[in-house]
Amino acid sequence: MKTVVVNDRSFAYFPKKWKYCIGTGRLGLALQKEYVDHLARLQKELNFQYIRGHGLLHDDIGIYRERKRADGTVEPFYNFTYIDRIFDTFLELNIRPFVEIGFMPKLLASGEQTIFDWQGNVTPPKDYDQWKQLIQAVISHFIDRYGVEEVTKWPFEIWNEPNLINFWQHADKKEYFKLYKITARAIKEVHPYIQVGGPAICGGSDEWITDFLQFCHKEEVPVDFVSRHAYTSAKPHKVTPDYYYQELYENTHMLDELKSVKELIQQSPFPNLPFHITEYNTSYSPINPVHDTVLNAAYLARILSEAGDIVDSFSYWTFSDVFEEAGVPTAPFHGGFGLIALHGIAKPTYHLFSFFNQLGEQLLYRDSQMVVTKKQDGSIQLVVWNLIMEKGEGLEQTVQIELPTQSDAVFIKRKTIDETNGNPWRVWKEMGRPRFPKKNEIDTLQEVAQPLIRTERRDGLSRTLKLELTLSKNEVSLVEVFPIIDETNTYPGLDDRLIPSY
Amino acid sequence: MKTVVVNDRSFAYFPKKWKYCIGTGRLGLALQKEYVDHLARLQKELNFQYIRGHGLLHDDIGIYRERKRADGTVEPFYNFTYIDRIFDTFLELNIRPFVEIGFMPKLLASGEQTIFDWQGNVTPPKDYDQWKQLIQAVISHFIDRYGVEEVTKWPFEIWNEPNLINFWQHADKKEYFKLYKITARAIKEVHPYIQVGGPAICGGSDEWITDFLQFCHKEEVPVDFVSRHAYTSAKPHKVTPDYYYQELYENTHMLDELKSVKELIQQSPFPNLPFHITEYNTSYSPINPVHDTVLNAAYLARILSEAGDIVDSFSYWTFSDVFEEAGVPTAPFHGGFGLIALHGIAKPTYHLFSFFNQLGEQLLYRDSQMVVTKKQDGSIQLVVWNLIMEKGEGLEQTVQIELPTQSDAVFIKRKTIDETNGNPWRVWKEMGRPRFPKKNEIDTLQEVAQPLIRTERRDGLSRTLKLELTLSKNEVSLVEVFPIIDETNTYPGLDDRLIPSY
Amino acid sequence: MKTVVVNDRSFAYFPKKWKYCIGTGRLGLALQKEYVDHLARLQKELNFQYIRGHGLLHDDIGIYRERKRADGTVEPFYNFTYIDRIFDTFLELNIRPFVEIGFMPKLLASGEQTIFDWQGNVTPPKDYDQWKQLIQAVISHFIDRYGVEEVTKWPFEIWNEPNLINFWQHADKKEYFKLYKITARAIKEVHPYIQVGGPAICGGSDEWITDFLQFCHKEEVPVDFVSRHAYTSAKPHKVTPDYYYQELYENTHMLDELKSVKELIQQSPFPNLPFHITEYNTSYSPINPVHDTVLNAAYLARILSEAGDIVDSFSYWTFSDVFEEAGVPTAPFHGGFGLIALHGIAKPTYHLFSFFNQLGEQLLYRDSQMVVTKKQDGSIQLVVWNLIMEKGEGLEQTVQIELPTQSDAVFIKRKTIDETNGNPWRVWKEMGRPRFPKKNEIDTLQEVAQPLIRTERRDGLSRTLKLELTLSKNEVSLVEVFPIIDETNTYPGLDDRLIPSY
Amino acid sequence: MKTVVVNDRSFAYFPKKWKYCIGTGRLGLALQKEYVDHLARLQKELNFQYIRGHGLLHDDIGIYRERKRADGTVEPFYNFTYIDRIFDTFLELNIRPFVEIGFMPKLLASGEQTIFDWQGNVTPPKDYDQWKQLIQAVISHFIDRYGVEEVTKWPFEIWNEPNLINFWQHADKKEYFKLYKITARAIKEVHPYIQVGGPAICGGSDEWITDFLQFCHKEEVPVDFVSRHAYTSAKPHKVTPDYYYQELYENTHMLDELKSVKELIQQSPFPNLPFHITEYNTSYSPINPVHDTVLNAAYLARILSEAGDIVDSFSYWTFSDVFEEAGVPTAPFHGGFGLIALHGIAKPTYHLFSFFNQLGEQLLYRDSQMVVTKKQDGSIQLVVWNLIMEKGEGLEQTVQIELPTQSDAVFIKRKTIDETNGNPWRVWKEMGRPRFPKKNEIDTLQEVAQPLIRTERRDGLSRTLKLELTLSKNEVSLVEVFPIIDETNTYPGLDDRLIPSY
């Protein structure tokens, strides 16, 4: 049995970089009530700083329109009715947009290639002047409505995954750099303090990072941050109408990737640029059932624990299953990216975030399966996990942890998710996988979507608390240890044994 | 091991008479926000029909006042400001008053004897004419504000426990009958359809029932229902500043009592009068810790299961620990009557009520430790308990139950409270019994105040489901069995084994 | 000056048939938060029974989908995820669907003709068997989810305005009758108690009504109600990118139309069929500014007052400007149909409905510009209006009304909308017609969107109250007259003159 | 007609010192739901920083209790159950306690003299050691629960109006100084940064100020601020069971008083101490009908405008009619101090505060009947009033104001309260002064409790806007002037004349 001895002499700072930003389905979905309900819950409990999604310029929000003048010529008409409602909602919920510029409005598109069930156009503008006008109109409107002070806090990222042929016509790097240059300069013309960045690539072609920064350097194009995505799954080995099945790499694979990209930046002409992972998850498919599992949480635990050492932020893709890239969901557990399933059902990974959110800012200890912190009030927090990527039952693991304590009595609170607890996917399978569950089924799924809570008191400690934690397969637990100020002796004559049966 | 075989050929009706009425601390407390919050939750989840409490005429609500006329003489002034707010609140929360007439306004009292920390005056009126005017003014005002149709749905009970010397000066039976006669007639003069009743005695002097009904018969005094209270605890064997310790009788003791009083009514001149238990609980003390325990729930389970066979209603005393009979509570778990502790923390007995609320109306089976029902949708419900009044660990019990089923697969949902689960009192003790818990302690107590939920699927059934339930000491469980309509085969190519680790 | 003398000897019943049903933008919009917010307000204040909108089968809700089987053939897949959420929302808000069957899912369509910015397909099914399967799947799902008792309360209307070539390919009457026959029979096969009806035509071709009922009679096709629409505007005389301008007919024009259609039904083989106006308004255009005006309210007042004499229901088109038939709205006041503008701003016609909602059920008097009712509590209600369709200032009118009263003092409450009051459109114009108003502008528009309230006391009455009401151009007022029970003399020594300045 | 010419070259800062603190009925009332509802509304709309009320140590909150030890001796027991709930509520509503130390717990009192219907004991402690222990226990508990950082933001004021014999036994100055010395030192012993002050006198004996500061200087007693009250009414000339009638002094009387006290402080050994008016209003009686009138608002307008020049804060007594000093209110308009009447009805003075809250921080102009400010967005705000303390009708006044403007078009929004508008007291009188109004009466009173809003557009301005404002008797108006950015010409072809009747 592994034994870990933790002291509290380390004063390392442990910032919550995983809270900087969170992904969302296309922005137009933010008009939906269920979306707003999920986001309100997320913000109340986890309070992310930024939210990033596709589709700012997509035709459902409908910013770009054209109208005929009296003389028959056409003029652009910029319609901000919906984007105002969306951004108003975000700001009311205390989350700012991390703005992704894309995709192409149909009327400005040079081609007909689209992506997703909702048909985002991924072709370059047919006229870069009109594009520039659009971009400047949009930014100016944001400043007019929200003020310069606010808008200069919003990062603007140009396009999404241009290194993929389905996200950018021909994955044409040269065309992307052109788009970037024109767009970034257009933005800075409106206000020089607005932050712009790119190239928002997915993994697999990191030479884009190097080339992009060289290009910006050489062409004197503004760049305030570098962005990239990170998914950790292989190509699918089976695809059905409902689901997409993939193998996962080790989670260290992603950490290694981030380090190597970080090095590319450090070797570039802009070695100190902020580096944002503007999307990450296990699978990149919105119908991969892994997203609904406890494994997903156990797998990502180490990433939440360590990725912040490398990057400036990493943004989980996505907070909610209100999402339509693969069409309207066909079942409540359809393998969507969301932390929150339809009907407001928290998935295991939601609780992973919630557990990490309880951690303190003083890092006492960290290894491949746990992180230990301390808060100013003297309490100690652990998140501990037992990632098991192989098949099979059992596979539990016991760890022994010695924690420093200054009181001779402590109160221990443990919250657990595993196959049995906080796992609505399992319960839904037991129910017979109802596609359109009824009210009492939804109620049950909501009820079971909670961690198990256990509490315990330990007395007679002498500067050390020994915890022995047995973790089931893919369990993730949060353990909080509070010093006790015992008031029992302020109840004179107290005698629980006089209560019947006690 | 006990085995119970249940069939569904019984069509006995199982009404929820325990839901008819619930007790409350003195009505003046209904002005408080915490009170209203607790009541709103209660009504949302359990939806009682009536609420009954002391103090309608107490001086904190201040209905009876006097004023000097210009000529120096005094006239009554009836102030309905607060009682209107209170009854408006009740009706908005979909609960009607079961009105207890009492105690005596100081200005009308013939003596100075009071009860409770809040000093309810328990002496007869100094002037029965003024009393009658007061009663008629109050009833008339209710009709004026809420309408005859509404007010004739409210039972009016005259006084509280007049057979006790601390609730009615000298426990003077003759004086009580006088009070009853004058009050009942005064009410009927205002509107003959309003229901009046008494004698609202506590146990131990059931000759009052007989004498009361004889009196009404002989004197032609209106009486629409008989009321009595029922507590099941002996005299205290220890009293401390904080707590009051008592032994409990068997719970069948209370059922036997109710039967014998029922017989007295049947032998009276009014054999068919409705019989309401307007208060019941284990202990009659608001600082007996038994109220905070799981034992309290396990003990009362049988009463909830069977008392409705005997009486027309029985009203748990009380829904909330917002209560001041023993002064302002000095700790969150102070042994109060409430189903809901301060800070909105549900106690085990709250969940007992919640479990019984899930039962269907078709009674399939009942014995001393379980009740089984069926609903129209084909689902089956059990509440099962393991009452252990002796001390000691272990003491668990296993029961085997065979249930009828028409589908070959069922989904089973079990909710459990016991020493470990849904027991915030235990957790509070672990914390060191903080008298004035801080925010994070309150949060934890609220979080743990939930039943454990477990679910399971059973396949390959052939008209019978065999359940083997192990119940820990004083556990109460709700088990719901739902027929499954399996949709798994509507997911072509589904293969969970392709998910990593599954 | 006109003088009206009203007595209270008439006991005519005045049902609120205008409350039976209300129109909505396409059902898919019911996923939006702003839509739900508007509907919640509507229901809280006005509480309609049914809601009717287009697009049940449109691809945004996405009920009809197809999937490839393993053998490469295609099978239908019915996705109820969104329609369940929508109908759950309606029922939670205490409003039932008045279901319009339409438009055609792309995958079932025989052609490509679409209508509206959101491209509803208006062609017949390419395969009536698949159509029938779809209809039956949908109805069966509704019954499965909501129960037979509920679903048999929902009327099902087949298609929308098939007599218009833009709503039904070629306005092909024969094809419509075929669609109707197959659909109605398909529904009745699922459950014979479900109500079906048609032909949902707009005005101008009422021979469809006659032909439709003859067809149903001859072919023995089920029909439970007749439906038609009614708009009162002429063809547009100017159309701009933002607005559509039309003349209005007299409002009696619509009443006359309804009467003549009612006669057609009475002369048909089904003379007693219920007759529902499933859409009505002044203009049929979603960008006609008349909808935002006080004129719209003054004009419709007589229709609300009288149409219920002729038809079984009439359903205002629509409750909210959350609507996309002409694309995303380009300004808050864009001439939309809604009673409630974007940002939750009530338009004058909203208040017209609110005023009519205050009327009692005993009709005392009615003429072309007022309606007078009485309630059981003795209060009297008037809605009175001064419709002026000509241009110009002034044009106010004074009416004198004598009302019966039984108390010698009354309290009069008058709520008024006119050009000055309850007219956010005017204020928005004063602001310079901001397309995307800012927070403080929205706040102001919400604040001014309230009627003016004036109150008055009248004493010394002797069975009659004489009111002299001056109505400005297009004013609509609600006047409520309450008998006073004066308590002033219960304040001994009261003397307001002792208050400084009084 | 008076003409005022305002320019925008003044950059005087106009802080909202009236928002620093607000008075409340005794703290125990903060347990009530209606109280919390009123406070939540106040904070949402006006957001005060502090709240001050009597009764921290009164027996309804019950902090001080005693218990018998096993040996029969008595020990203090400090019960924080209710005060924690109260202060938790305040802090959740974003308002901090301005703590008044008082009155005397019965068990610590040296005498039996009480004040108010709720019987606050106003005698010195019978034992100053026990008092000191109580004070230190209370302060220590606050620090323990809320943290030092928070509690050092709460001012602690010792007692209330000790210069009045009904608030402090014999108005014994020497005894008060003793109480002050012991209490202030006790507090500072717990934490030296906590602010303490006094002497909290009412007007009429300002030598107490001088003596108090001399005493503190001589005895080296800590003092961090000076406090005093200010009411502007004479002795009553009539008192009835319901009301108390008084004359009012000129409002400048109060301003003069504050100046003279300020001078006393400046001449004292602590010339720079902050000076807080911890209570002010017109009448000091909780049943003076002036509080319900528009006069009260018009009268206080000048005080809100000017008192902040003299003092560091002034705290309106009180925010709500949830108040019991004169017993339970006997009618909704009973002359209570509250800005908000029972049932959540805003009184005129509430709107006065709301109007002042809209003022900007740049003071452009001020005189005896108006104040003019500017905000950073270029808008200009006026509050203007027409105080008329004499009886009679008419008495309106017209003022002409020239305001600077940089746009050639402005949007003007005017909100008005006067005898006709925003005056629920008048409407209640019209209703016959119902003591216990019914639901529809309450609804009407809530509806009329709003200012009248009028809007207007003015074009063709050339750097100056001329406003001519006619003010009715005791009217208070807020006028806001916004520059217009006109978008009318972005609607090509717009022609309102094509709308019927326009």
D479 closest CA partner among D403, D375, D382: D382
B37 domain residue, yes or no = yes
Residue that has been written with the tokens 């996705």 in this structure = C79
What integer pLDDT is reported at residue D69 of this predicted model? 85
Phi, psi of C121 (to 5 degrees): -80, 130
Ramachandran sector of residue B379 (left: φ over 0; alpha: ψ -120 to 50; beta: rest): beta
Q: What is the pTM of this model?
A: 0.97
Same domain, B328 and B378: no
Mean pLDDT of D15-21: 97
B497 domain residue, yes or no = no
Contact C413 D444 (CB under 8 A): yes
- How many angstroms separate the CA atoms of D435 and A496, rounded? 52
- How many angstroms separate the CA atoms of A89 and A243, rounded? 32
> Each residue of A109-141: pLDDT tens digit?
999 999 999 999 999 999 999 999 999 999 999
Which of A70, A492, A493 is the closest to D492 by Cβ? A70
For the record, the structure tokens of A40 come out as 């309100």
**Residue A214, exposed/middle/buried by CB under 10 A (0-12, 13-18, 19+)?**
middle
- Tell me the CATH number at C427: 2.60.40.1500
Least confident segment among A161-165, B89-93, C447-451, D498-502:
D498-502
Flag whether residue A493 sits within 8 Å of chain D, measured between CB atoms: yes
Mean pLDDT of A404-419: 96
D496 domain residue, yes or no = no
Start-to-end C-alpha separation, chain B: 37
Integer angstrom CA distances of residue B191 from B136, B144, B152, D170: 10, 12, 8, 54
Contact D438 B31 (CB under 8 A): no
Domain count, chain C: 2
Same domain, B96 and B172: yes
> Each residue of B142-182: pLDDT tens digit?
999 999 999 999 999 999 999 999 999 999 999 999 999 99
- How many angstroms separate the CA atoms of D16 and D103, rounded? 31
- How many angstroms separate the CA atoms of C142 and C149, rounded? 11
Same domain, A25 and A172: yes
Contacts of A149 in chain D (CB under 8 A): none
Contact C500 D290 (CB under 8 A): yes
Question: Which band of pLDDT confidence, cut at 50, 70 and 90, is reported for residue B265?
Answer: very high
Which of C65, C89, C328 is the closest to A81 by Cβ? C328
If one counts every other C-beta atom within 10 angstroms of the C-beta of residue B396, the result is: 14
Whether the predicted pLDDT of D399 surpasses 90: yes
Catalytic option among B161, B279, B325, B480 = B161
A393: annotated active-site residue: no
Question: Which band of pLDDT confidence, cut at 50, 70 and 90, is reported for residue A70?
Answer: confident
Which of B388, B427, B455 is the closest to A501 by Cβ? B388
Chosen for mutation from B253, B498, B502 (greatest number of chain A CBs closer than 10 Å) is: B498
Contact A243 B494 (CB under 8 A): yes
Contact B436 D31 (CB under 8 A): no
What integer pLDDT is reported at residue B70 of this predicted model? 80
What integer pLDDT is reported at residue D400 of this predicted model? 97
Q: What is the mean pLDDT of chain B?
A: 97
Mean pLDDT of B495-499: 96
Same domain, C88 and C44: yes
Contacts of C390 in chain D (CB under 8 A): 501
Residue in D with minimal Cα distance to B79: D330
For residue A132, the distance in angstroms to the closest alpha carbon of chain D comes to 21
Flag whether residue A448 sits within 8 Å of chain B, measured between CB atoms: yes
Which of D67, D69, D492 is the closest to A69 by Cβ? D492
- How many angstroms separate the CA atoms of D185 and D179, rounded? 10
Chosen for mutation from A393, A433, A455, A497 (greatest number of chain B CBs closer than 10 Å) is: A455
Question: Which band of pLDDT confidence, cut at 50, 70 and 90, is reported for residue B363?
Answer: very high
3-class secondary structure, B171: helix
Whether the predicted pLDDT of B1 surpasses 80: no
Element (H, E) at A190: helix A173-190
Residue in B with minimal Cα distance to A249: B500
Same domain, C290 and C180: yes
Same domain, D324 and D438: no
Same domain, D343 and D381: no
> Each residue of A186-234: pLDDT tens digit?
999 999 999 999 999 998 889 999 999 999 999 999 999 999 999 999 9
For the record, the structure tokens of C220 come out as 């023995």
Which of B35, B67, B329 is the closest to D81 by Cβ? B329
For the record, the structure tokens of C213 come out as 């009922």
Q: What is the mean pLDDT of chain D?
A: 97
Question: Which residues sit opposite D430 in a β-bridge?
Answer: none
Contacts of A70 in chain D (CB under 8 A): 492-493
For the record, the structure tokens of B288 come out as 């007996």
Contact B436 D81 (CB under 8 A): yes
- How many angstroms separate the CA atoms of A104 and B44, rounded? 49
CA D501 to chain centre: 50
Contacts of A331 in chain C (CB under 8 A): 81
If one counts every other C-beta atom within 10 angstroms of the C-beta of residue C9, the result is: 7
A354 domain residue, yes or no = yes
Would you say B136 and B182 are in contact if contact means Cβ atoms under 8 Å apart? no
If one counts every other C-beta atom within 10 angstroms of the C-beta of residue A94, the result is: 12
For the record, the structure tokens of B476 come out as 């109460």
A415 closest CA partner among A445, A384, A442: A384
Contacts of D489 in chain C (CB under 8 A): none
What integer pLDDT is reported at residue C204 of this predicted model? 83
What integer pLDDT is reported at residue C70 of this predicted model? 80
Contact C79 A438 (CB under 8 A): no
Q: What is the mean pLDDT of chain C?
A: 97
Q: For residue C437, is the peptide bond before it cis, meaning its omega torsion is within 30 degrees of 0?
A: no
Per DSSP bridges, beta strands A340-341 and A313-316 are unpaired
- How many angstroms separate the CA atoms of A140 and B77, rounded? 67
For residue D136, the distance in angstroms to the closest alpha carbon of chain B comes to 17
> Each residue of A305-350: pLDDT tens digit?
999 999 999 999 999 999 999 999 999 999 999 999 999 999 999 9
> Each residue of B421-480: pLDDT tens digit?
999 999 999 999 999 999 999 999 999 999 999 999 999 999 999 999 999 999 999 999
**What single string gives the DSSP state of each residue in D8-35?**
S---EE---GGGSEEEES-GGGGGBHHH
Expressed as residue numbers, the domain containing A462 is: 2-9+361-486
Same domain, B285 and B390: no
For the record, the structure tokens of B174 come out as 């003759």
Integer angstrom CA distances of residue C158 from A63, C100, C113, C141, C228: 35, 6, 19, 18, 12
Would you say C396 and C473 are in contact if contact means Cβ atoms under 8 Å apart? yes
Task: Rounding to the nearest 10 degrees, give the CA dihedral for residues A89, A93, A98, A102.
Answer: -20
Contacts of C247 in chain D (CB under 8 A): 500
For residue C232, the distance in angstroms to the closest alpha carbon of chain A comes to 29
What integer pLDDT is reported at residue A2 of this predicted model? 82
Mean pLDDT of D179-192: 98
Which of D241, D430, D448 is the closest to C457 by Cβ? D430
Task: Please report the residues numbered 56 through 75 in chain D whose beta carbons come closer than 8 angstroms to any beta carbon of chain B.
Answer: 61-62, 65, 67-68
Whether the predicted pLDDT of D1 surpasses 80: no
Same domain, B334 and B373: no
- How many angstroms separate the CA atoms of B231 and B234, rounded? 9
Catalytic option among A100, A161, A257, A279 = A161
**Residue A497, exposed/middle/buried by CB under 10 A (0-12, 13-18, 19+)?**
exposed
Whether the predicted pLDDT of A1 surpasses 80: no
Per DSSP bridges, beta strands C99-101 and C156-158 are parallel
D497 domain residue, yes or no = no
The residue out of B308, B335, B358 marking a domain boundary is B358
Contacts of A354 in chain B (CB under 8 A): none
Contact D34 B31 (CB under 8 A): yes
What integer pLDDT is reported at residue B11 of this predicted model? 85
Catalytic option among D161, D279, D475, D480 = D161
Element (H, E) at B245: strand B244-248
Same domain, C160 and C103: yes
- How many angstroms separate the CA atoms of A459 and B489, rounded? 54
Contacts of B492 in chain A (CB under 8 A): 240-242
What integer pLDDT is reported at residue C398 of this predicted model? 96
Contact D82 B328 (CB under 8 A): yes
Q: What angle do CA A102, A108, A112 make, to 5 degrees?
A: 85
B339 domain residue, yes or no = yes
Q: For residue D162, is the peptide bond before it cis, meaning its omega torsion is within 30 degrees of 0?
A: no
- How many angstroms separate the CA atoms of C84 and B353, rounded? 32
The residue out of A358, A382, A417 marking a domain boundary is A358
What integer pLDDT is reported at residue B191 of this predicted model? 98
Q: Considering only residues D462 and D150, tell me which one the structure prediction assigns the higher pLDDT.
A: D150
Q: What is the mean pLDDT of chain A?
A: 97
> Each residue of C350-375: pLDDT tens digit?
999 999 999 999 999 999 999 999 99
> Each residue of D241-294: pLDDT tens digit?
999 999 999 999 999 999 999 999 999 999 999 999 999 999 999 999 999 999
What integer pLDDT is reported at residue D453 of this predicted model? 98
D416 closest CA partner among D484, D345, D469: D469
Q: Which amino acid is at A211?
A: D
3-class secondary structure, A97: strand
What integer pLDDT is reported at residue A204 of this predicted model? 83
Flag whether residue B493 sits within 8 Å of chain C, measured between CB atoms: yes
Whether the predicted pLDDT of B71 surpasses 90: no
Mean pLDDT of A15-40: 98
C491 domain residue, yes or no = no
- Tell me the CATH number at B146: 3.20.20.80
Residue that has been written with the tokens 């599992």 in this structure = A293
B295 domain residue, yes or no = yes
For residue D412, the distance in angstroms to the closest alpha carbon of chain C comes to 9
> Each residue of C170-224: pLDDT tens digit?
999 999 999 999 999 999 999 999 999 999 999 888 999 999 999 999 999 999 9
For residue C463, the distance in angstroms to the closest alpha carbon of chain B comes to 24
The residue out of A337, A358, A379 marking a domain boundary is A358
Q: For residue D318, is the peptide bond before it cis, meaning its omega torsion is within 30 degrees of 0?
A: yes
Phi, psi of D501 (to 5 degrees): 80, -10
What is residue B206's DSSP assignment?
T
Cβ contacts from A onto C, under 8 A: 70
Chosen for mutation from D33, D58, D439 (greatest number of chain B CBs closer than 10 Å) is: D33
Integer angstrom CA distances of residue A84 from A79, A320, C435: 9, 21, 11
Same domain, B336 and B406: no
Same domain, A87 and A197: yes
Mean pLDDT of D65-84: 94
Q: What angle do CA B168, B170, B176 make, to 5 degrees?
A: 50
Residue in D with minimal Cα distance to C482: D431
